[in-house]
C-alpha cells in the first residue's frame, strides 16, 4: 500500500508531453500487463473562470498482477484554498473492463459511453462529476512505447483530447453547482517507475485566438537516462490535424526564477529550438495557479517513506504565453504550464 501511495504521488507529479501523429483509441484504454512495475494512469484536466483541476486515476503492479489502484485530485477554486489529496485502494476494491476505457476504485469511477468520457470522485467535502465531449485532435505523445535504458522497459504517453467542452457538477460541502468549461485527458502507460530515470517533467497546453493548439513538454533525465532530456513540440490546427512537430534539440533559458514555495529554481522565460534549428518556441511563465507539495496532508511515516524516492516532490502550475516561429507555421498562444518536480 505504501508503494502504491508513492505511485499516486508520482502521478500527481507527472503528466508530460512528447507529441506526434494520430492516436488510436486502444492506445489509452485499460491495458493490464502482468509484470511487476506496470503502471497505467489517466489525468483529467478542467478549467473555467472559477476552477482549475487535475484529477488522476491509476492502476499498478507491485508484485505481478496485484492491481493496486487509486485516485489523486488537485483542485484550485477562486474562493477556496488549494485542495490536494490522494486515495488508494486494494485489488478487491478495483474493477475494470478488458479493452474498454473504464476503472472503478471504491466508489470513484471513469468511463466512456456514447461518445462521452466521464469521471466521478468523492473526497467528502468535495464531490465531482464531469462529462467530456472530446474535441478532434489527439496526440500520441511518445510515438508508441518509448524505450528506456533497460531492455524491454518503456514509457508510453498520449493526449487523447484537449480543450474540449466539459459539463457537470461540483459539490463543496452542502453546495452543489453546475459547471461548464474546457478540459482534456492525458494518459501514461509504463513498466518502469519514473523516478528511476527522470527528475523533472513539464507540460504546456495552449491555444491561439483562431483555435490552433500548441503543446510542448517532456522530461529532464537523471544520470541513468541517455541524452539528458527528452522534450517535444506539436501544433494542431482548429480541425485537429497536425500542423508541425519536432524534438527539442536545445533549450535556452533567458530568465530563471526561484519559486518561493518549493524552493526550486526553474525557467521563467525559455526558448526551445527544434527541427534542425529552423524553429523556435518561446515559453513565458506568467501568473501562478497553484503550487503543491506531495508531502502535505500525510502522516510523518508516509512522508519519510516517500522521501526515500523523492527528495522534493512538487507540482507547480501557472498561466503561460507562447510564441512559435517556424517556416511552416507561426503563431502566439495562451495556456497553462505544469511542472512536476521530483528531485533537484
Does an H or E element contain 300, and which? helix 300-307
Q: What is the mean pLDDT of the chain?
A: 84
pLDDT recorded at residue 27: 67
Spans of the chain below 70 pLDDT:
1-27, 62-65, 226, 294-312, 343-344
State whether CATH 3.40.50.450 applies to domain 2-341: no
Cβ count within 10 A of residue 80: 13
For 87, left (φ over 0), alpha (ψ -120 to 50), or beta? beta
The confidence score (pLDDT) of residue 159 equals 84
Q: What is the pTM of this model?
A: 0.85
Q: Answer for the pair 85, 108: CB distance below 8 angstroms, yes or no.
A: no
What is the C-alpha separation between 280 and 252, in angstroms, rounded? Answer: 10
Distance CA 208, CA 320 (A): 12
On whether the CB atoms of residues 230 and 271 are closer than 8 A, the answer is no
Neighbours of 22 (CB within 10 A): 12
Supply the pLDDT for residue 209: 97
| Helical (H) or strand (E) element with 59 | strand 51-60
Cβ atoms within 10 A of the Cβ of 332, count? Answer: 15
CA 273/CA 204 separation, integer angstroms: 16
Amino acid at each position: 500500500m505504501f508503494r502504491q501511495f508513492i505511485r499516486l504521488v508520482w502521478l500527481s507529479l507527472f503528466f508530460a508531453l512528447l507529441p506526434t501523429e494520430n492516436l488510436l483509441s486502444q492506445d489509452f484504454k485499460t491495458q493490464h500487463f502482468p509484470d511487476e512495475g506496470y503502471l497505467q494512469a489517466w489525468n483529467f484536466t478542467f478549467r473555467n473562470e472559477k476552477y482549475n483541476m487535475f484529477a488522476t486515476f491509476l492502476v499498478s503492479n507491485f508484485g505481478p498482477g496485484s492491481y493496486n489502484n487509486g485516485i489523486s485530485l488537485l483542485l484550485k477554486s477562486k474562493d477556496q484554498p488549494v485542495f490536494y489529496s490522494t486515495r488508494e485502494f486494494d485489488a478487491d476494491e478495483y474493477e475494470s473492463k478488458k479493452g474498454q476505457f473504464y476503472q472503478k476504485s471504491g466508489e470513484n469511477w471513469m468511463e466512456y459511453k456514447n461518445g462521452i468520457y466521464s469521471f466521478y470522485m468523492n473526497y467528502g467535502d468535495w464531490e465531482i462529476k464531469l462529462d467530456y465531449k472530446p474535441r478532434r485532435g489527439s496526440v500520441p505523445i511518445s510515438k508508441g512505447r518509448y524505450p528506456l535504458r533497460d531492455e524491454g522497459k518503456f514509457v508510453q504517453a498520449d493526449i487523447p483530447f484537449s480543450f474540449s467542452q466539459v459539463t457537470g457538477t461540483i459539490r463543496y460541502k452542502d453546495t452543489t453547482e453546475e459547471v461548464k468549461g474546457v478540459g482534456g485527458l492525458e494518459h501514461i502507460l509504463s513498466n518502469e517507475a519514473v523516478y528511476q530515470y527522470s527528475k523533472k517533467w513539464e507540460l504546456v497546453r495552449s491555444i491561439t485566438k483562431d483555435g490552433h493548439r500548441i503543446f510542448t513538454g517532456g522530461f529532464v533525465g537523471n544520470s541513468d537516462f541517455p541524452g539528458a532530456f527528452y522534450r517535444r513540440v506539436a501544433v494542431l490546427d482548429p480541425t485537429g490535424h497536425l500542423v508541425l512537430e519536432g524534438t527539442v534539440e536545445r533549450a535556452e533559458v533567458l530568465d530563471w526564477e526561484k519559486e518561493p514555495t518549493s524552493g526550486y529554481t526553474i525557467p521563467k522565460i525559455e526558448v526551445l529550438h527544434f527541427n534542425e534549428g529552423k524553429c523556435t518556441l518561446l515559453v513565458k511563465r506568467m501568473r501562478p495557479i497553484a503550487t503543491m507539495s506531495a508531502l502535505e496532508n500525510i502522516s510523518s511515516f508516509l512522508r519519510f517513506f516517500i522521501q526515500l524516492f523523492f527528495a522534493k516532490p512538487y507540482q507547480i502550475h501557472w498561466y503561460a504565453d507562447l510564441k512559435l516561429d517556424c517556416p511552416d507555421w507561426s503563431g502566439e498562444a495562451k495556456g497553462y504550464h505544469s511542472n512536476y518536480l521530483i528531485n533537484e
